Amino acid sequence: METPRRPESWVEISESVSRLCSFDAGGGGGVSVKLIQDNRMAHDKLVDSFLNKFFPSGYPYSVNEGYLTYTKFRALQHFSSAMLHVLSTQVYDLPLRKQRLTQESSSVAAWGQEWIQSQRVGGYLGMAVVAARATRLPIYSSFAKEGNLSDLFAKGEAISTLFNVMGIGAGIGLSSTVCSTTQGKLIIGPLLSAVHIWGVVQEMRATPINTLNPQRTAMVVADFIKSGKVSSPAELRYREDLLFPNRLIEEAGSVKVGQPFRRVLSPRLVEELRSTFPNEKFLLTQKSDKAYMVLEQSATGEDALRGWLVAAFASEMERSGAGPRDTVLNDAYQKMESVFPMFVSEVKSRGWYTGQFLDGNHSRIAYAKSE
């Protein structure tokens, strides 16, 4: 009778750690791992254990640039937020009459806020988008590599939970010491709120978003016009203006996109522009020192890049006195056609996604089919 073959085994050595690995005897394809030797310092063991539990496998090579910065500020945000939540529960310790007065005042303030919101719905949209939990998945997607989005999401939420728990503990400690008085609350409360908001801002700035919106498109085109190079999402993230995203960039042609069609173009001008830009999904016209671009409903990021390049080239030609505006626009279009294949190839290789153009609630057009 033939003796059963023993499962193959091997030793894996990584720095100061040795592990004995072998295939399971049952033949199921599993691998068993046994630690043989570990000469690491206690500090290194703790750090590695923390990284294994709260960072995606293969970190830092399995994530895009900026993940550590994003994680640090996200942890700070959750820590300060949890402390604020604990301190806010101290309202129930108020005397009964004072609590009643506060309740009625809050009701009046809430009614006023609801009325203002109903009159100015658009003003609250930005806050809702920033605060919504639905933003987590797109943010994690911007850091994911090699199909590890689920691992990234799970480890990121684990860190959030950890610092929430730590924040609750710190908040309880503050509420019984520094914040046990009204003066303490008046100092610590605004300070924690400022830290929380600052953490959110830095967290968003650290995220390399790779989709094209008006500001990012203008910055990509401006860098290409100035240096002949295309910047990556990671290179643009700290230059993006989060407070005033609609500012115009002169080097990119000072393009204003998404204005109502009827306000920027006349019927005669539409026919002229459609002949100037045949088979394009954008119309572009220049007025004073601005360029107005209107996109078709089905326009993508590539169409927006084409329009922005035309505007940037036209602006550059006008500054150099190349001729009348109509001639300049036509020459700029021809120049765009010659450089666009190389340009869009570089844009994609730098990590930008051109399948969509995110222009928010801006106006687009759809031509009616002629019968």
pLDDT, tens digit, 9 for 90 and up, residues 307-350: 999 999 998 888 877 666 667 888 899 999 999 999 999 999 99
- How far apart, in whole angstroms, are the C-alpha atoms of residue 257 and residue 246? 9
Question: Residue 31 — φ and ψ, nearest 5°?
Answer: -125, 130
Question: 153, 111, 159, 115: which is closest to 133 by C-alpha?
Answer: 153
Read off the pLDDT of residues 196-247 as tens digits, 9 standing for 90 and up: 999 989 998 999 988 999 999 999 999 999 998 999 999 999 999 888 888 8
- The pLDDT score that the predictor gives to residue 90 is 64
**What pTM does this model have?**
0.73
* 119 pLDDT tier (thresholds 50, 70, 90): low
- How far apart, in whole angstroms, are the C-alpha atoms of residue 214 and residue 221? 11
Angle at 62 between CA 149 and CA 69, to 5 degrees: 90
Q: Contact at 8 Å (CB) between 270 and 260? A: no
Structure tokens at 111: 């009614």
Give pairs for 242-250: CB < 8 Å, separation 24+: 242/201, 242/204, 242/205, 245/213, 245/214, 245/215, 246/214, 246/215, 247/215, 248/218, 248/290, 249/215, 249/218, 249/219, 249/222, 250/315
- The pLDDT score that the predictor gives to residue 68 is 92
Q: What mean pLDDT value characterizes the chain?
A: 81
100 beta partners: none
| DSSP letter, residue 3 | P
Residue 19 DSSP SS3: strand
Residue 129 has pLDDT above 60, yes or no: no
Least confident of 49-53, 252-256, 280-284: 49-53
